[in-house]
């Protein structure tokens, strides 16, 4: 391994680095060399490494090393390997985003496109047509800095990098950092250095719009102030002598949580040793305004990112030794009436979170925000610039990420308050307050003014009898007794608003709330949290009760409360709210802490000199919400309390629901979110709030154990320990984390902070929220591909454990290996017996077990004598499928012959041209034979469907199996399957799948069906998969299957400017009706007083399929048909080498059995006559079935 020696020499010259960290580099070097296989790397991948960061956390002695993968001086984008080494030189955790076998994947090391051409390419990509000449300011080691242009707010930085397109393709690129003028966007874009195409595109601006429709600020990545060395005013006053500030002191969150009070010397000397107004470390403040070493706060109503020199002052030049910032907040007035108080509170809150997190470990070496680091390491000159009452817009707050040594920029805005309200909740307290609503439009009896409306009643959810979407109430209400006299809640979709309201009115409802849903209206990316306007449609003129709409998130909170058994009482009454039209976010400490939290995560994740929060599953909003919550807990608070984010700026009460989908609470009836709830979300907040919910549970776990103290210098308190744990986890988890990395980083931090005392308790917390031991995060670049699990760390449960693994599909003459993993986590040694079931049709392979076995009937047993406490063991054995029991194919269609194709019916939808078409194997792969069906995903709104009709359901366990391949844009484009017995009413088959079904969400606008799930995204390895639908509930009936596919407009990958691939869409191939044989097996471990068993493990005996037009081979058997075509009779000439009983059947091409006879087959020649006089002319299949297989041939009846 070769390190960047220049950087190594530099850090070795820093006194604070010292011998200990030099030693840690040696430990890290040795670890990398010894663990290349574990890391999935080759030795060549470890050449040319650059140490981007190295520092030691003081309180636990862990050294964090961040290696940047590089090749010959060119870094690989976001390829960071971090090691966390204890003071005892033990490796406790690592994370690796290096590219494996890098040298074999790099396309070239020589650029064709020059840096200026890369900038022009990006500008064109962004729709900028300016062709001005670029002026080079400096050039160093291939990196180029261009002067500011007409379309940039600052200099443009261009750096050569390698960028991974996928696992096998790494391109030489120019990384262009462009702060686009006139927008809020700061682009970090990768331009292919050979083709000039934009192949990677990331916005560094964090949009923290806390409510739908908020304004996005025009912020910059690396905006700095240039007058730091010449302060506007100075003071010789001592930093240690009573500086006072009138603020909303923590733990008060905002003006609705506490009083506007005067606090003196609120700083923590360890974090700010010279107070908040000193910058040189010599006694005497350099500033008497809201400016100092950590923060410069000022109003920016002009949105020019410059102080107007009108900051609040705490004293005059040469005045007394004390600074006094005593400015009143007129809470009933408009924000500009309290401008000075606004800035003072903003200054105070920023300094407080600086000091508190400093005490907990966010210090100089880890990248905190300070002008002067006082020789303690890290890069200074990066204090926070905090803009109060920013003039860029409203209803927002913002923090720009930057690497260590560059200022953090915070922007706080005015928030509009409603001047009138219509709907409010009085009970329960956790939902109380007024709600943002959508009014009715045209076509109703009552208009949008709701004159003379005053309805107070309980809320109840209405349902109709739709088998899937009963909450849409497009038909008669079926729970009228629950709706009568109440305000009915109904979800949007499937029918007109007036139709829904009339159904509720007819059931006795006194009012109706219609809930919005994600993706509705004209915006497929909408989260549905904004209420919508509603036309009455055909039935609106018959509705005489009041109707309004609520956002999806608000409705979900209410419905979750109702489902938990708690009544909800609401009132519909139009009234004026009075009070100011706006409030300032600078008085909301929670929002300030949230925004500062972005700065913390930006510096700690991947090291202070990286920006490593660019993946789809990054949890930045979750960490920020956690800091907002943790720093505003009051002494009498409980974890089960309702904690909403942003209640003050929303005009809510202290127990209001806030601006997230659910308020935070350890009570899962109030906040039920688990890991799965990140799926199908698009914005960062819905994902982040799930992570914050887990961190909030951890906070209260620690408070329960260690207690609470408002004095943050008490490092033994539970609240301090919790914040410290979260910070330490952020340091350890590495670059571009997902939920699993975040969980494991916290567990690693706990292992060193408390020597693992709380390990099992933390696992319980994560498992409760779906991030258990067997949870799978999938790719950090895809929030939709994970799976949740609720099991804690196995060793934390003092019980016996057993897990079973085997293949699910068993084929004829195939040996199947079964693996049983057992563990004894009881405190004592045990004598145990492990048992497993051997299904019919399978037999144990003698001698295949890895330990002594015994067979008794249909079970196999293994003895585990003296099974030690804490021990694990693995038992393996093999079974053979002996073909004495078979799954039987009743019907098979391979989509190959004209007759088979004719059994499918394509449904033509008006104005739709995108239909299922035949795909030939010469175009795209099929599962079998020459053909499959294919429908393409398009960048337009389309719907297509194809039906397979008239399937006669027969057999003991009838199932339909179909082979298919999906390759679409996840959640936007996809398909699902429906079943009908009459061709009129169709039901989703989702709940009937027993193998490879679907649980992925499809956006509302694709089919206008709320909460729809289907096949979407990409099949594993982009290959055909087999899905099974259980038809047992349709035995004896004739059914049809319908495969529906939809795509959405505007679904191109905008970041890469690509259209869909040619094979983007849904492929359907072989479809079979099978009489299935399956077993749900269970293995157990048993002692004299205890037993543990696995969940059922499904084993399916694979049917011996016919191949459509061709014979299957039954060994020693053949037959011919005479005549063919035939009329009233046909003769089967069967030749056999053995005697057996055969089942001979005739089937229509639609799968209906029209003849079934049993015949004894003798050796040699057999002539069998079948009466076909009752059969209508057409094509049929004749099947000869024995216990050894099936032969199928086609016959034509004239």
Do residues 794 and 801 lie in contact, with contact meaning Cβ atoms separated by under 8 Å?
yes
CATH number of 12-104: 3.10.450
Q: What is d(CA 31, CA 20) in angstroms, rounded to the nearest whole number?
A: 16
Q: Tell me, what's the pLDDT at 1012?
A: 87
Q: What is d(CA 998, CA 1027) in angstroms, rounded to the nearest whole number?
A: 9
Q: Which residues, 6 or more positions from 964, have their beta carbon under 8 angstroms from its beta carbon?
A: 1015, 1019, 1024, 1025, 1027, 1066, 1067, 1068, 1069
Phi, psi angles (nearest 5°) of residue 74 = -110, 120
In this structure, the number of other CB atoms found within 10 A of the CB of residue 253 comes to: 29
Winning range, highest mean pLDDT, from 440-454, 720-734, 1156-1170: 720-734
Winning range, highest mean pLDDT, from 279-283, 796-800, 814-818, 937-941: 796-800
**787, β-bridge pairs:** 776
**Helix 759-768 and helix 739-753: axis angle, to 10°?**
160
Identify the helix (H) or strand (E) that includes residue 975: strand 974-980
Q: Is 858 exposed, middle or buried (0-12, 13-18, 19+ CB in 10 A)?
A: exposed
Dihedral-angle region of residue 36 (phi above 0 means left; psi in -120 to 50 means alpha; beta otherwise): alpha
Percent of the chain at pLDDT exceeding 90? 64
Interval 1056-1069 mean pLDDT = 78
The DSSP symbol for 43 reads G
**Helix 718-733 and helix 339-360: axis angle, to 10°?**
80
- Is 1051 in a helix, a strand, or coil? coil
The 10s digit of each residue's pLDDT in 64-81 is 999 999 999 999 999 999
Q: What secondary structure, in 3-state letters, does 730-794 show?
A: HHHHCCCCCHHHHHHHHHHHHHHHCCCCCHHHHHHHHHHCCECCCCECCCCCCCCCCECECCCCH
The 10s digit of each residue's pLDDT in 189-229 is 999 999 999 999 887 777 665 443 332 232 333 333 434 33
316 pLDDT higher than 60: no
87 pLDDT higher than 70: yes
Interval 360-367 mean pLDDT = 98
The 10s digit of each residue's pLDDT in 13-46 is 444 455 667 889 999 999 999 999 999 999 899 9
Cα 659 to its chain centre, rounded Å, is: 19
1029 pLDDT higher than 50: yes
Do residues 864 and 833 lie in contact, with contact meaning Cβ atoms separated by under 8 Å?
yes
Q: Tell me, what's the pLDDT at 1148?
A: 76
Q: What is d(CA 840, CA 807) in angstroms, rounded to the nearest whole number?
A: 16
Q: What is the dihedral of CA 264, 268, 271, 273, to 10 degrees?
A: 60
**617, β-bridge pairs:** none
Q: Tell me, what's the pLDDT at 13?
A: 44
981 pLDDT higher than 70: yes
Q: What is d(CA 356, CA 267) in angstroms, rounded to the nearest whole number?
A: 9
Calculate the alpha carbon distances from 685 to 208, 624, 691, 695, 1054 in Å: 8, 10, 10, 15, 21
Q: Tell me, what's the pLDDT at 221?
A: 33
The 10s digit of each residue's pLDDT in 902-946 is 899 998 776 677 899 999 888 899 999 999 999 999 988 889 999
CATH class of 805-885+1079-1101: mainly beta
Q: Tell me, what's the pLDDT at 525?
A: 59
643 pLDDT higher than 90: yes
Do residues 897 and 888 lie in contact, with contact meaning Cβ atoms separated by under 8 Å?
no
| Straight-line distance from the first to the last Cα atom of the chain, in angstroms, rounded to the nearest whole number | 79
The 10s digit of each residue's pLDDT in 831-843 is 999 999 998 888 9
Confidence of residue 1089 (pLDDT cuts 50, 70, 90): very high
The domain defined by 244-415 carries CATH number 3.10.170.10: yes
Q: What secondary structure, in 3-state letters, does 661-724 show?
A: CCCECCCCCCCCCCHHHHCCCCCHHHHHHHHHHHHHHHHHHHHHHHCCCCCCCCCCCHHHHHHH
The full set of domain ranges for the chain reads 12-104, 115-203, 244-415, 420-576, 614-795, 805-885+1079-1101, 888-1052+1059-1076, 1117-1197
CATH number of 614-795: 1.10.390.10
Spell out the alpha helix ranges (H) of 445-490. 480-483
Q: 251: cis peptide before it, omega within 30°?
A: yes
Q: Which position has the higher pLDDT, 411 or 210?
A: 411
Whether 805-885+1079-1101 and 1117-1197 share one fold: the answer is yes
In this structure, the number of other CB atoms found within 10 A of the CB of residue 1164 comes to: 9
The 10s digit of each residue's pLDDT in 377-387 is 999 999 999 99
Q: Tell me, what's the pLDDT at 1051?
A: 40
Q: Is 225 exposed, middle or buried (0-12, 13-18, 19+ CB in 10 A)?
A: middle
Q: Which position has the higher pLDDT, 241 or 1182?
A: 1182
9 pLDDT higher than 70: no
- Is 557 in a helix, a strand, or coil? helix
Calculate the alpha carbon distances from 842 to 886, 1075, 1078, 1099, 1141 in Å: 11, 18, 12, 11, 22
Interval 704-716 mean pLDDT = 98
Q: Is 1128 exposed, middle or buried (0-12, 13-18, 19+ CB in 10 A)?
A: exposed
Calculate the alpha carbon distances from 441 to 434, 536, 974, 1008 in Å: 21, 7, 33, 21
Q: What is d(CA 497, CA 442) in angstroms, rounded to the nearest whole number?
A: 11
Q: 662: cis peptide before it, omega within 30°?
A: no
The 10s digit of each residue's pLDDT in 566-579 is 999 999 999 887 88
Cα 712 to its chain centre, rounded Å, is: 34
- Is 474 in a helix, a strand, or coil? coil
Q: What is d(CA 34, CA 592) in angstroms, rounded to the nearest whole number?
A: 45
522 pLDDT higher than 70: no
In this structure, the number of other CB atoms found within 10 A of the CB of residue 737 comes to: 28
The domain defined by 1117-1197 carries CATH number 2.60.40.1930: yes
Q: What are the tokens at 665?
A: 């609470």
Q: What is d(CA 994, CA 748) in angstroms, rounded to the nearest whole number?
A: 39
Q: Is 230 exposed, middle or buried (0-12, 13-18, 19+ CB in 10 A)?
A: exposed
401 pLDDT higher than 60: yes
Q: Which position has the higher pLDDT, 187 or 606?
A: 606
Q: What is d(CA 642, CA 644) in angstroms, rounded to the nearest whole number?
A: 6
Interval 972-976 mean pLDDT = 94
Mean pLDDT check: name the lowest of 188-197, 292-301, 327-336, 1102-1111.
1102-1111
Q: Tell me, what's the pLDDT at 412?
A: 95
Q: Which residues, 6 or more positions from 14, have their beta carbon under 8 angstroms from its beta carbon?
A: 377
Percent of the chain at pLDDT exceeding 70? 92
Q: Is the dihedral of CA 769, 775, 778, 780 positive or negative?
A: positive
Q: What is d(CA 1085, CA 586) in angstroms, rounded to the nearest whole number?
A: 61
- Is 77 in a helix, a strand, or coil? strand
Confidence of residue 845 (pLDDT cuts 50, 70, 90): very high
Q: What is d(CA 148, CA 180) in angstroms, rounded to the nearest whole number?
A: 10
799 pLDDT higher than 60: yes
In this structure, the number of other CB atoms found within 10 A of the CB of residue 879 comes to: 23
The domain defined by 888-1052+1059-1076 carries CATH number 2.60.120.200: yes
Cα 1187 to its chain centre, rounded Å, is: 49
Q: What is d(CA 356, CA 633) in angstroms, rounded to the nearest whole number?
A: 14
Number of Cα atoms under 13 Å in the Cβ half of residue 659: 22
In this structure, the number of other CB atoms found within 10 A of the CB of residue 1023 comes to: 11
1179 pLDDT higher than 80: no
Q: Tell me, what's the pLDDT at 740?
A: 97
Do residues 157 and 71 lie in contact, with contact meaning Cβ atoms separated by under 8 Å?
no
Q: What is d(CA 511, CA 509) in angstroms, rounded to the nearest whole number?
A: 6
* DSSP-assigned letters across all residues of 92-127: EEEEE-PPTTHHHHB--SS-SS-HHHHHHHHHHHTT
Number of Cα atoms under 13 Å in the Cβ half of residue 376: 22
Query: Buried (b) or exposed (e) across 574-603, using 16+ Cβ within 10 A?
Result: beeeeebebbbbbbbbbbbbbbbbbbbbbb
460 pLDDT higher than 80: yes
**Helix 759-768 and helix 684-706: axis angle, to 10°?**
140
CATH classification number, 420-576, choose in 3.40.640.10, 3.80.10.10, 3.50.30.30, 3.40.50.300: 3.50.30.30
Q: Tell me, what's the pLDDT at 523?
A: 60
Hey, what long-range contacts does 142-149 have (CB within 8 A, 24 or more apart)?
142/73, 142/74, 144/115, 144/116, 146/115, 146/116, 146/119
Q: Is the dihedral of CA 465, 466, 468, 473 positive or negative?
A: negative
- How does the average pLDDT of the chain come out, rounded? 88
């Amino acid at each position: 391994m070769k390190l960047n020696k220049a950087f190594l020499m530099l850090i070795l010259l820093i006194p604070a680095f010292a011998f200990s960290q030099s030693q840690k580099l040696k430990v890290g070097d040795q670890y990398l060399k010894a663990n290349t296989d574990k890391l999935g790397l080759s030795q060549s991948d470890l050449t040319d490494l650059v140490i981007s960061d190295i520092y030691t956390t003081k309180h636990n002695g862990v050294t964090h090393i961040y290696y940047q993968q590089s090749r010959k001086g060119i870094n690989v984008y976001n390829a960071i390997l971090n090691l966390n080494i204890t003071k005892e030189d033990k490796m406790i955790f690592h994370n690796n985003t290096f590219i494996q076998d890098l040298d074999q994947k790099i396309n070239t090391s020589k650029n064709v496109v020059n840096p200026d051409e890369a900038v022009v390419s990006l500008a064109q990509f962004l729709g900028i047509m300016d062709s001005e000449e670029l002026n080079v300011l400096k050039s160093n080691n291939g990196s180029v800095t261009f002067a500011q242009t007409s379309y940039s707010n600052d200099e443009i930085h261009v750096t050569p990098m390698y960028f991974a397109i996928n696992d096998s393709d790494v391109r030489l690129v120019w990384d262009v950092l462009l702060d686009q003028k006139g927008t809020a966007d700061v682009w970090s874009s990768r331009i292919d250095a050979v083709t000039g195409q934009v192949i990677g595109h990331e916005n560094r601006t964090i949009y923290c719009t806390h409510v739908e429709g908020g304004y996005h600020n025009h912020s910059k990545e690396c905006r700095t102030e240039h007058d730091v060395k010449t302060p506007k005013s100075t003071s010789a006053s001592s930093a240690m002598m009573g500086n006072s500030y009138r603020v909303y002191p923590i733990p008060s969150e905002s003006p609705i949580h506490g009083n506007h009070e005067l606090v003196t010397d609120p700083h923590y000397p360890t974090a700010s040793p010279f107070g908040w107004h000193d910058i040189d470390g010599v006694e005497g403040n350099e500033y008497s305004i809201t400016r100092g070493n950590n923060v410069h706060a000022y109003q920016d109503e002009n949105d020019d990112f410059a102080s107007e020199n009108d900051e609040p002052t705490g004293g005059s030049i040469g005045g007394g030794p004390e600074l006094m910032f005593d400015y009143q907040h007129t809470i009933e007035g408009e924000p500009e009436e309290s401008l000075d108080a606004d800035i003072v509170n903003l200054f105070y809150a920023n300094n407080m979170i600086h000091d508190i997190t400093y005490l907990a470990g966010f210090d100089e070496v880890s990248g905190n925000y300070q002008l002067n680091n006082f020789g303690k390491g890290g890069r200074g000159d990066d204090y926070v610039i905090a803009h109060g009452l920013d003039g860029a817009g409203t209803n927002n707050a913002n923090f720009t990420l930057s690497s260590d040594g560059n200022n953090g920029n915070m922007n706080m805005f005015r928030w509009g308050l409603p001047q009138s309200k219509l709907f409010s909740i009085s009970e329960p307290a956790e939902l109380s307050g007024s709600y943002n609503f959508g009014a009715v439009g045209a076509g109703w009896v009552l208009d949008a003014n709701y004159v003379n409306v005053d309805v107070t009643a309980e809320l109840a959810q209405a349902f109709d009898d739709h088998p899937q979407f009963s909450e849409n109430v497009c038909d008669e209400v079926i729970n009228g007794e629950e709706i009568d006299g109440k305000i009915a809640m109904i979800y949007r979709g499937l029918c007109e608003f007036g139709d829904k309201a009339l159904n509720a009115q007819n059931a006795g409802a006194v009012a109706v709330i219609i809930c919005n849903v994600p993706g509705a209206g004209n915006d497929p990316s909408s989260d549905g949290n904004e209420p919508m306007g509603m036309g009455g449609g055909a039935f609106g003129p018959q509705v005489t009760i009041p109707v309004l709409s609520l956002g999806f998130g608000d409705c979900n909170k209410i419905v979750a409360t109702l489902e938990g058994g708690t009544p909800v009482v609401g009132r519909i009454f139009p009234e004026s709210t009075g009070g100011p039209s706006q409030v300032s976010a600078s008085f909301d400490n929670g929002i300030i802490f949230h925004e500062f939290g972005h700065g913390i995560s930006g510096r700690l994740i991947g090291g202070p000199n990286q920006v490593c929060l660019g993946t789809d599953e990054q949890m930045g909003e979750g960490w920020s919400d956690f800091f907002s919550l943790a720093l505003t807990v009051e002494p009498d608070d409980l974890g089960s309390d309702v904690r909403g984010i942003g209640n003050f700026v929303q005009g809510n009460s202290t127990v209001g629901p806030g601006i997230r989908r659910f308020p935070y609470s350890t009570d899962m009836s109030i906040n039920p979110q688990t890991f799965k709830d990140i799926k199908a979300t698009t914005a960062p907040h819905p994902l982040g709030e799930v992570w914050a919910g887990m961190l909030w549970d951890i906070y209260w776990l620690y408070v329960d154990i260690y207690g609470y103290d408002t004095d943050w210098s008490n490092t033994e308190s539970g609240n301090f320990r919790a914040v410290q744990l979260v910070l330490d986890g952020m340091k350890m988890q590495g670059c571009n984390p997902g939920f699993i990395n975040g969980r494991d980083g916290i567990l690693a931090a706990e292992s060193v902070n408390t020597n693992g005392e709380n390990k099992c308790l933390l696992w319980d917390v994560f498992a409760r929220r779906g991030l258990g031991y067997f949870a799978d995060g999938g790719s950090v670049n895809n929030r939709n591909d994970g799976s949740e699990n609720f099991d804690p760390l196995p060793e934390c449960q003092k019980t016996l454990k057993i897990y079973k693994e085997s293949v699910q599909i068993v084929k004829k003459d195939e040996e199947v290996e079964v693996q049983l993993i057992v563990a004894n986590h009881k405190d004592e040694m045990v004598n145990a017996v492990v048992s497993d079931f051997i299904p019919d049709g399978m037999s144990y392979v003698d001698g295949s077990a890895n330990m002594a076995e015994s067979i008794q009937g249909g079970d196999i047993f293994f003895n585990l004598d003296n099974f030690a406490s804490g021990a694990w063991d693995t038992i393996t054995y093999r079974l053979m499928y002996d073909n004495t029991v078979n799954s039987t194919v009743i019907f098979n269609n391979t989509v190959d012959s004209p007759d088979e194709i004719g059994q499918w019916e394509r449904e033509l939808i008006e104005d739709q041209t995108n239909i299922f078409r035949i795909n030939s194997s010469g175009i795209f792969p099929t599962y079998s034979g020459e053909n499959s069906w294919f429908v393409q995903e398009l960048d337009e709104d389309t719907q297509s469907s194809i039906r397979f009709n008239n399937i006669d359901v027969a057999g003991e366990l009838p199932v339909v199996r179909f082979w298919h391949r999906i390759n679409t844009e996840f959640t936007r484009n996809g398909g699902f399957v429906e079943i009908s017995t009459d061709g009129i009413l169709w039901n989703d088959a989702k709940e009937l799948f027993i193998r490879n079904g679907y649980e992925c969400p499809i956006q509302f606008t694709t089919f206008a069906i709320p909460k729809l799930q289907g096949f979407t995204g990409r099949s594993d390895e982009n290959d055909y998969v087999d899905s099974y639908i259980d038809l047992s509930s349709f035995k004896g009936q004739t059914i049809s299957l319908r495969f529906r596919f939809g795509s959405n407009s505007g679904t191109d990958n905008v970041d890469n400017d690509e259209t869909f691939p040619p094979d983007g869409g849904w492929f359907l191939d072989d479809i079979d009706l099978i009489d299935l044989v399956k077993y749900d097996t269970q293995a157990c471990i048993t002692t004299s007083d205890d037993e543990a068993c696995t969940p059922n493990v499904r084993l399916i005996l694979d049917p011996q399929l016919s191949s459509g037009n061709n014979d299957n081979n039954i060994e020693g058997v053949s037959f011919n048909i005479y005549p063919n075509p035939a009329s009233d009779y046909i003769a089967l000439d069967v030749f056999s080498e053995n005697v057996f009983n055969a089942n001979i059947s005739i089937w229509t091409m639609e799968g209906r059995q029209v003849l079934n006879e049993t015949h004894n087959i003798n050796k040699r020649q057999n002539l069998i006559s079948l009466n076909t006089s009752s059969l209508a002319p057409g094509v049929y299949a004749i099947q000869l079935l024995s216990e050894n297989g099936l032969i199928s041939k086609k016959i034509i009846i004239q």
